[in-house]
Structure 1
Amino acid sequence: MEANPTSIESAKLQDFAKAGVNRLSLGIQSFNDKDLKVMGRDHSGTDAIRAITKAKQVFHKERLTFDLIFARPGQTLEAWDDELKQGLELAGDHMSIYQLTMERSTPLHKASVRGELPPLPSPDEAADMYEQTLKRTSEYGFSHYEVSNYCQNESAISRHNFSYWQGMDYLGVGPGAHGRLTRTEDGVRVRTFGEFHPNKYMALCESEGEGIRKMVPISARETIEELIVFGMRTRMGVPRARFQAMTGLYLDNVLDKEMLQTYIEAGFLIDEAGVMDQAMNKYVPNELLSEWDLHGGIRPTESGLERMDSIVPHIMKI
């Protein structure tokens, strides 16, 4: 379950746990009051710390995660390092750490265009923050298993998010929720879109038994692209067995062999043909390790993960 610090109360957390919620993700984003206001958040740094403390009492260290965002307007490397260390001191066994994306037409983007905000860190400064994040999280015993996600042990890996990255089905329940399902009657994979307006969603549930507004079939090309693009965001990469099972194609036939070899020789990618890195259990769920037994797969190194947005377009032939 995801929650905001402003909505956290001990009584509610106890009720969530009793209802079956077994993992809590808090939208902290920052401990800096000024930056939280700039990002349109309603909570303060004190609220964030209080929420984490309360959540630990109910869900314990092993069932708590929260997110932080770096490369914010006017942020320096030193300021980010101080905030990151504060977060790591408070953390459970998992953290999500994102670089700020300035989406067009959002209030934050509009304020930036109007010159109301300090400038964003340069690409080089943001890269320094990313690399400092890798260093600090490692010092605190975290493994970097996905571009923006860190865990202290295999059991802390987010199974929920892994379903996105590895092309698995997931349910979208609630107003505006989206899902990805394989229809049992014909095996076709579809995206589901829940009715956005809460009242209309509830009316649909009462009349139809569920609140899905529409279902859109996922094309074969989309499946191929998603398995590679999202799979390569993880240190697990793309296992050949899963790719073939879901697409009917051989992974090697949709990748540019020359470019692939170039990135392997540069130390950005690894081709493991049935030979698993002994450290893989730090960043791959145990239940998915068997997918590497037969034919291995393609996965990024730590250096490759940092450059993946540039690498993926060059290795895909489709």
Structure 2
Amino acid sequence: MREIALYIHVPFCIQKCRYCDFVSYPYLQPESISDYFKVLTQELQIRTENDKLQNVVLKSIYFGGGTPSLVSPEILNDFLLLLRQNFRFSESIEITVEANPGTLNSEKIREFAHLGVNRLSIGIQSFQNRFLSFLGRAYREKEVHNLLTELIDTGLFLNWSFDLMYGLPFQTFSDWKKEMEHLLMYQPPHFSLYNLTLSHQVPLRIFLKKHFALFPGQDWEASIYRWTQQILRKYGYRRYEISNFAKPGYECLHNLTYWRNQEYLGLGVSSSSYLGGIRMRNASTLSHYQKRIKNCQSPVVTKDILNLKQKLAEEMILALRTSEGVETEKLFKTYPESLVQEKLIQLEDFAQSHFIHEREGRWILTSRGTLIANQLFLEILD
């Protein structure tokens, strides 16, 4: 039976964060979300038909954003019912909702759990007000602690995650140590760690250009990353992907689909899909997305059919992000020997520089390699 993952983009936020380059819009009235989910319903019907998805099994559902925790339980319930009518759900299905402090309380947590949501991913970024303010987050430290306390007190979610960000202006080791103390106090089963990365489109990019010296720098970030890995390992966390750590059994099944280069369907504005070896992307503005749906057109505006060399490079890069690494035998079974041999020469070169190592037929990034992973990936793409 064909299994896929499903991603639903909810593009509404209380306010736009200063570092965010995801497609999102101000949440001005409840009708905007209900209207959007009506359009999502239409897209689901179009995509199910166009992409021949009538008989697939969903192994994971991920509501990302934006701020999906702004969605009412009633709307979420209706959409999950619709999905059950169109697809089979795996017995071990993972259903994740991303949430921000200030948009979720104990009552809503209980309602989401009652609907079958079994995983929450909470966007925290920092436990310190001055960093939250700098990033443009719409909540403060007190709301972060309130949400985590309520979540734990309900006892309804064994599987949940939050993320923190490092590499912020004026951030010191002492500041980061405080963040880690809060993390270890709450002991989330899953944790994501990101350094501040600013695209050219975001407001903080201008600040970065003017005040570059205020940012810690790559050497500091590398030392923080290494230190954090060591601390988390002591407390039972395993780094299963470059930016993601989990206690055994709490790895994010949905994200593993991406890193294992498996199929997924993306619904909503700007969402991406990977089906039948084709990468697809929806219209990137809400008006364009809605217009296409209302005209009974697929919202997919770009399709990229990868050749074997591109597929091989992508699969290797995605696999190297994980602790599973690249499996040599699988490559030879899937791709022409000449292409695989060419890439293995690259991996051997990386191994001589101690950026990766081979273990039982798998090529895995070393701790040193994770620090320059993007550079290695660019070489694999060439």
Give the TM-score normalised by structure 2. 0.67
Work out which of the residue numbers 293, 311, 314 in structure 1 matches 2:376: 311
Q: Distance in 1 between matches of 2:128 and 2:381?
A: 44
Question: Is the alpha carbon distance of 1:118 and 1:266 closer, same or farther for their aligned partners in structure 2, counting shifts above 3 Å?
Answer: closer
Number of aligned residues? 286
Work out which of the residue numbers 328, 343, 358 in structure 2 matches 1:240: 328
1:110 matched to which residue of 2? 206
1:47 matched to which residue of 2? 143
Which amino acid in the other structure matches residue 98 of structure 1?
Answer: Y
Confirm or deny: 8 A CA contact 1:240 1:251 kept in the other structure. Answer: no
The offset of 1:68, in angstroms, is: 0.3
The offset of 1:210, in angstroms, is: 6.4
Confirm or deny: 8 A CA contact 2:119 2:157 kept in the other structure. Answer: no
> What residue ranges of structure 1 are gaps of 5+ in the alignment?
183-188, 276-295
Q: Distance in 1 between matches of 2:214 and 2:262?
A: 39
The offset of 1:196, in angstroms, is: 4.2
Aligned-pair identity in percent equals 25
The offset of 1:108, in angstroms, is: 1.0
1:254 corresponds to 2:342: yes
Confirm or deny: 8 A CA contact 1:243 1:251 kept in the other structure. Answer: no
Larger proportion of strand: 2
What pairs with 1:294-305 in structure 2 (closer than 5 Å)? Answer: 296-305=361-370
Question: Is the alpha carbon distance of 1:43 and 1:18 closer, same or farther for their aligned partners in structure 2, counting shifts above 3 Å?
Answer: same
1:15 corresponds to 2:80: no
Q: Distance in 2 between matches of 1:151 and 1:303?
A: 20
Name the SS of the counterpart of 1:65 in structure 2: strand
Work out which of the residue numbers 162, 168, 188 in structure 2 matches 1:92: 188
Question: Is the alpha carbon distance of 1:113 and 1:254 closer, same or farther for their aligned partners in structure 2, counting shifts above 3 Å?
Answer: same
What pairs with 1:222-301 in structure 2 (closer than 5 Å)? Answer: 222-244=310-332, 246-249=334-337, 252-255=340-343, 257=345, 259-272=346-359, 275=360, 296-301=361-366
1:174 matched to which residue of 2? 268
Question: Is the alpha carbon distance of 1:82 and 1:195 closer, same or farther for their aligned partners in structure 2, counting shifts above 3 Å?
Answer: same
Work out which of the residue numbers 213, 218, 239 in structure 2 matches 1:144: 239
1:287 matched to which residue of 2? none
Q: Distance in 2 between matches of 1:53 and 1:151?
A: 20
The offset of 1:76, in angstroms, is: 0.8
> What residue ranges of structure 2 are gaps of 5+ in the alignment?
1-96
The offset of 1:91, in angstroms, is: 3.0
Question: Is the alpha carbon distance of 1:171 and 1:309 closer, same or farther for their aligned partners in structure 2, counting shifts above 3 Å?
Answer: same
The root-mean-square deviation of aligned C-alpha atoms, in Å, is: 2.7
The offset of 1:254, in angstroms, is: 3.0
Structure 1 residues 45-82: Cα deviation after superposition (integer angstroms, max 9, x where no partner): 11122222233345756310011001111101121112
Question: Larger relative contact order (C-alpha < 8 A, sep ≥ 6)?
Answer: 2
- Which runs of structure 1 show a deviation greater than 6 angstroms over 4 or more consecutive aligned residues? none
Structure 1 residues 262-308: Cα deviation after superposition (integer angstroms, max 9, x where no partner): 44345432223xx3xxxxxxxxxxxxxxxxxxxx3322233332332
Give the TM-score normalised by structure 1. 0.79
Compare 300-309 and 100-109 and name the one that shifted more: 300-309
